[in-house]
Structure 1
Amino acid sequence: MIAAEPGKKRRQCGPKTRTGCQTCKIRRVKCDESKPSCKRCTSTGRKCDGYVQGSIPSPDDKDFGAVIQRIATHLPGSSQEKRGFQYFVTTTSAELSGFFTNSFWEHLILQASATDPSLRHAVVAIGSIHEEFAHNRLSYDVESESKGQAFAISQYTKAISHLRRSLLNGKQAPITALMSCILFACFDSLRGYFDNAMIHLQSGLKILKDFKAQSAEDAHMVETHITPLFMRLSIQAILYIDTRTTSERKDLVNEMAEICARETEVPEIFESLEDARKHMNQSAHGLFRMFHICDGTKPMQDQPPEAKRMFLQYTRQMTAWNKSFEKFMAAKSHTFNSKQLRGAALLKIHQLVSTVMRDVTPDDRDARPVSESVNDPNNFRRYESDFRIVVNLARSLIVAAEQDKMMGKSPLTFSTDLGLVGPLYYTCIRCTEPTVKMQALELLLQLPRREGMWDSESTVKMIKEYWEIERRHEQLQKATGELATPVPLVEVIDLVFGDGMRWEWKWKHPLGKMPVMLKNGEGSEVISTFSDDWKDLLEDQSWFTEDFTMATGYSPLTDGSIFGTESMFGMDGAGSLGIESPAFGTPASFGVDSTFAFKNEDSVSPGAPELMQWVVPTIVPDTRNDYEWSEL
């Protein structure tokens, strides 16, 4: 046995990492992990071969949990920062992925945040604000925000500071900047700061427009993950976007051009739920862009030719989507696990609501302004069965989420994407059947949900206020007498946004100056205004009380937009996409034996015709952590 030479020290090895560049790994030296090229290579005249995306194993890999745990342990920062990062890893990433496979949240963003301080602080911020939401501590009032919420905001501020320094030094890789914009937009949406969220979203769209991939991996990431995320963020912001002026909306549509350039044709049959989701969002996004460039004060025949072209294009895409989805469900639904079944149900909810939106869009034969024609309550009476299905499917998903929560599982109620809140809000505002509307409201009250710019608690408040406005408006219309032509509710009030999830209904005109159509002695209609008697009537009808107050004053945002108050998701909707049949399909839309089969039941409404009803899933947990679907 050879004795060790006296006085010779053995080399001590530090913990090995998997996040260094390829060149340093081959040389077996410590990499400083600078992006896009490490300084250890460039300072010695070597070419840095960059970083491999697979340096962190995928979530399905057996080593994934251990590697992520090691990263969380060795990350720099305080114990509270490590706690926020850990919460994101164990809980938030799965919530943000929802019912669909999404390696961006569960893999890519974790890998990137291990080396980029801006992304790391943003991840900690989102994880921390999610923990506040999960423990019912998330407040939109600055004066009552919790310590955890204040910590999340401080992490968000640090993330922005790091990004600014990197941009000023020219060291920020474009792909990382795109990720930062997504995280910042998500964080501000989740805390109700919509103006900031839109600034980050638009900044990301501009970067995406000028993006030139530095590697095949970057190109794949942008195509597969980044672009779809920007598209989904744009979709869930639809209600906010349409409260902007026409010029602002058109500017945003132009900025979305890069997303449109990356669209793909709808396949004959979808390969997966993720594939179906991608093309559903693509069609919805295209039609919403069409609505954004329309002028709600003009009839459809006077809308820009580009708007009409886009409407026809994306309507055809939605028809193709429905056929492809039918084939996909008939072929694959029997192999779905509980998560996939829920994902399919959510896609069907979105498709149903989109169908209604599309079908109420006027054609060139309707001479009324678009905002007036799409707000005609008579347009929605024939969709009662569709709204019932939306409510029934949403109920099954919410019941399943409650069961998951009781079993200690993630209930999937915290997301940056459009989920259940928007469709249930639309049902409450649009459906003409009181029973269905009340059921939709009860579901929003049943389990708190945060879905990007949609919050169930704030949405319930907005719906209740709208119903009260609607009721009193009807009374006031009757009080004006037979000489007056009824004034549509959309001509009276508007929906406006404020920071901290503050949504409010606002007068479009100063009190006492609201227009009304009166008939003169010859029977012709003339424009008039309400006198002091109108103000007295308002007071008599208790418009302004302690429990219900409306802001007064002219709103500069009401320029005839199709959304907002005159909207599909606002006060009195518009737009649409979907398939051609008003009933959205045949009794065998998904195959007789498929998950989404139909059965005939008597309508709940007395005297109404027999309606086609879904076989709605009731999800019951079993020992395999799976669920079975049965008829309600």
Structure 2
Amino acid sequence: MPRSISGELQRAPQPKTKSGCLTCKRVKCDEAKPNCLRCSSTGRKCDGYQKSSPRSLFRDYQLPLYSLPGLVRSENDRETRSFQYFYERTVPSLAGYCGSAFWNRLVLQVSQHEKSVWHALVALGALHENFEKNEDGPATQLIRQTQDSFAIQEYVAAIRALLNVSDNLDFNPSTPAFTSSAMNLTVDVCLVSCILFVCFEILSGHYVSAINHIRSGMKILREAYYDPRSGTYRHPLLKPSTVTKLEMETLRSMFFRLQSQTLTLTRIETDKPLYNIIEQPSLVQIEIPECFSSIAEARDIFENYGCLCSHEYHIAVGKLSSAKAAHVSDYLIQKYTLIINKWTAALDRFEQSRGHNLTTKEQVGLKILRMYRLQTIITLASGQSENSNSFNWDQYNSLFEGIISLAASIAGTRFDTDSTFSTNLLEKGEGFYLKPSFTLDNGIIAPLYDTAVLCRDPIIRRKAVHILRSVSRQEGVFNSHVSAMAAEKVIAIEEAAASRLSSDYHDSILSLTTIVSDMNLEQQDHQITKSSDVPKNVRLTYAYPTVDTTKREFFLTIGQEEMRKRKMHIDIPFPAATAVVDIEFKSIQ
């Protein structure tokens, strides 16, 4: 029996539509193929069916391609095309390597009765099509100097529909969409719309606007509460939710992942996760099975324990004395080392049980999970990186190489082993992601950036940068091109400092400031051949891109352990990143 997109079984109406066979048209055809039973049982010749048009094909899947009230462009070819692109390309991309009921079902279901979601899907489909068809090369695929006017028009229509704003009223579409004017909306519709707006802003390169929408979604989650009597989530200003508790948990997980990414860019207190949001069912000790049943289960359990570890660690640091916090830190390292070992065993058994039956996406998912496993092992083994001796990273070069190998396999990059790695070491090969890629899942960018920054081996860290340079990937708020530029800057700073300072030079803060002020940093040739050529006192303890949401500018924030103790750091202006990722809607302001 056919199901509606909502997944609810419904009594099927007698099909007297135009989709019947040519003989039974406008009669109650059962639509069996190749010959309908009505014709066969009565001895008539069944003349078959008309060739399906794109719209009738969507109707077979019960997708929301119908004329919504007040939607004057619902029959427009461009709108139909953009929605089709969203369904066929954007949904699989955003669903990631694990798949997603949110993208495969929920968002399509909501679009059937919410104009704001419908317009947002069309806008995102149009923008994503342009993103994927950009063939200017990896260095420019993520730079969007102009916007698709149709995509912007649909995006503005989505926000107006959400807020019920009249067309003759002016408003700024880049500001958070959720205010007290949205009182006629349900909690889930607001959150679904917010996710779509975040996607549109990220794909447009508007990081500040995307961050504002993420914050708006988190604010809704903070203010919502579960009502066991009605089985719904309630909010002081919004109508109760209309989706299941499991679907609300899916939305919560998506926002937590986005907020975690946001924190890496802003580094401000207000973007730190709050673990008491609408009953955290995920923040419990989940039993790791002997063998995972799916890649999604492995990913979810890995992320759950990652949140638990971070939560427990920050509680220890914030509430305990230094001595007690250090003791708890050692305990947590031991605890989560055992957990990651058990998780790894379950993942290995899953891979063995599937054998050659793994799908392409599952193979990619396995490699990504193994990258994060290596990253976690390095962090745990180093004794919580922020308190570790920067020189200790050198003993994990083999693990960094493992991350490089997995990432290169995913990105379709191979290395010319006969090269001494100077300028052009990489060639593009066949791989899973050859076109620009956009997803909300965590992927290869974060582990590659950490490898480029923490590993001081000149070949390994440059391989990480070249992979980031050679792909065009947008993973949530993480941008491969921006990450590559930041990593290159870090490498240049450290190697320039290493070439100028002797190993017993102690005034590292002064020297670091001097090195950073050198405008010709990237043009200098520094003879670094191995990790130990970068002495401890010039190594950066931390280095990451940050965004000032007020100034709408990117910076590269760097520092060393002594600077951290003095609560000092250096913010290097990062105009190249600002130019790439935060071009505002000038055409409609």
Shared fold per TM-score greater than 0.5: yes
Q: 2:271 matched to 1:271? A: no
Structure 2 distance, partners of 1:286, 1:544, is 33
Structure 1 distance, partners of 2:452, 2:279, is 33
In structure 2, the partner of 1:427 is 451
Matched-pair contact (CA < 8 Å) for 2:119–2:157:
yes
Q: 2:474 matched to 1:450? A: yes
In structure 2, the partner of 1:157 is 159
In structure 1, the partner of 2:325 is 303
Shift of residue 17 of structure 1?
11
Unaligned runs of 5+ in 1: 1-15, 29-62, 363-369, 518-526, 530-542, 551-632
Q: In the TM superposition, what are the counterparts of 1:474-513 in structure 2 within 5 Å?
A: 474-475=498-499, 477-478=501-502, 490=540, 495-498=545-548, 503-506=554-557
Structure 2 distance, partners of 1:388, 1:272, is 27
In structure 2, the partner of 1:186 is 199
Q: 2:187 matched to 1:174? A: yes
Return the match for 2:364 from 336, 342, 347: 342
- Residues 250 and 309 of structure 1, relative CA distance in 2, 3 Å threshold: farther
Matched-pair contact (CA < 8 Å) for 2:118–2:158:
no
Matched-pair contact (CA < 8 Å) for 2:452–2:465:
yes
AA of the residue aligned to 2:258? L
AA of the residue aligned to 1:71? P
Return the match for 2:247 from 185, 210, 221: 221
- Residues 69 and 86 of structure 1, relative CA distance in 2, 3 Å threshold: farther
- Residues 104 and 378 of structure 1, relative CA distance in 2, 3 Å threshold: same
- Residues 285 and 25 of structure 1, relative CA distance in 2, 3 Å threshold: same
Return the match for 1:244 from 268, 272, 275: 268
Q: In the TM superposition, what are the counterparts of 1:533-612 in structure 2 within 5 Å?
A: none
Q: In the TM superposition, what are the counterparts of 1:276-291 in structure 2 within 5 Å?
A: 276-290=298-312
Matched-pair contact (CA < 8 Å) for 1:398–1:447:
yes
Return the match for 2:257 from 229, 232, 251: 232
Q: In the TM superposition, what are the counterparts of 1:251-266 in structure 2 within 5 Å?
A: 252-255=274-277, 258=280, 260-261=282-283, 264-266=286-288
In structure 2, the partner of 1:203 is 219
Matched-pair contact (CA < 8 Å) for 1:418–1:452:
yes
AA of the residue aligned to 1:468? A
Greater Cα offset, 125-134 or 213-222: 213-222
In structure 1, the partner of 2:108 is 110
Give 3-state SS (helix, strand or coil) of 1:503's partner.
strand
Structure 2 distance, partners of 1:544, 1:226, is 36
Matched-pair contact (CA < 8 Å) for 1:100–1:340:
yes
Structure 1 distance, partners of 2:563, 2:500, is 12
Structure 2 distance, partners of 1:21, 1:449, is 33
**Whose relative contact order is higher, 1 or 2, with alpha carbons under 8 Å and at least 6 apart?**
1
Structure 2 distance, partners of 1:268, 1:158, is 50
- Residues 303 and 157 of structure 1, relative CA distance in 2, 3 Å threshold: farther
Q: 2:64 matched to 1:71? A: yes
Structure 1 distance, partners of 2:129, 2:407, is 24
Shift of residue 361 of structure 1?
2.5
Matched-pair contact (CA < 8 Å) for 2:5–2:105:
no
Structure 1 distance, partners of 2:211, 2:378, is 29
- Residues 86 and 547 of structure 1, relative CA distance in 2, 3 Å threshold: closer
Return the match for 1:390 from 383, 389, 403: 403
Shift of residue 330 of structure 1?
2.2
Structure 2 distance, partners of 1:175, 1:268, is 35
| Pairs aligned (count) | 459
AA of the residue aligned to 1:360? S
Unaligned runs of 5+ in 2: 15-55, 166-176, 233-240, 414-427, 510-535, 579-589
Return the match for 1:333 from 355, 380, 383: 355
Matched-pair contact (CA < 8 Å) for 1:494–1:505:
yes
- Residues 262 and 285 of structure 1, relative CA distance in 2, 3 Å threshold: same
Give 3-state SS (helix, strand or coil) of 1:258's partner.
coil
Shift of residue 66 of structure 1?
3.9
AA of the residue aligned to 2:462? M
AA of the residue aligned to 1:391? I
Give 3-state SS (helix, strand or coil) of 1:115's partner.
coil
Matched-pair contact (CA < 8 Å) for 1:495–1:505:
yes
- Residues 309 and 171 of structure 1, relative CA distance in 2, 3 Å threshold: farther
Matched-pair contact (CA < 8 Å) for 1:350–1:423:
yes
- Residues 169 and 65 of structure 1, relative CA distance in 2, 3 Å threshold: closer
Shift of residue 416 of structure 1?
0.9
CA-based RMSD: 4.9
Structure 2 distance, partners of 1:308, 1:95, is 39
Shift of residue 467 of structure 1?
1.5
Shift of residue 201 of structure 1?
4.0
Q: 2:110 matched to 1:147? A: no
